[in-house]
Amino acid sequence: MMGAIITHRKDIDVRLERTIMALELCVAEDAIALVLRGLRSLPARLERIDRSARRLASELENCEAVRRVNHPALSSHRTQGRWLADFSGAGGCFSLELGMDARAVIERLRPLRFLQAGVVRRAALRFGMVKLHCYA
pLDDT tens, N- to C-terminus, the chain (136 residues)? 677 788 889 999 999 989 988 988 888 889 888 888 888 998 888 888 888 888 888 888 887 778 888 888 888 887 777 777 788 878 787 777 777 666 776 776 666 655 444 444 444 444 444 445 444 4
Cβ atoms of 80 and 72 within 8 Å: the answer is: yes
What are the residue ranges spanned by the domains of the chain?
A: 43-134
DSSP state of 1: -
List b or e across 94-113, with b for residues whose CB sees 16 or more CB atoms inside 10 angstroms: bebebeeebeebbebbeeee
43-134: CATH topology is: Aspartate Aminotransferase, domain 1 (3.90.1150)
CB atoms near residue 131 (< 10 Å): 12
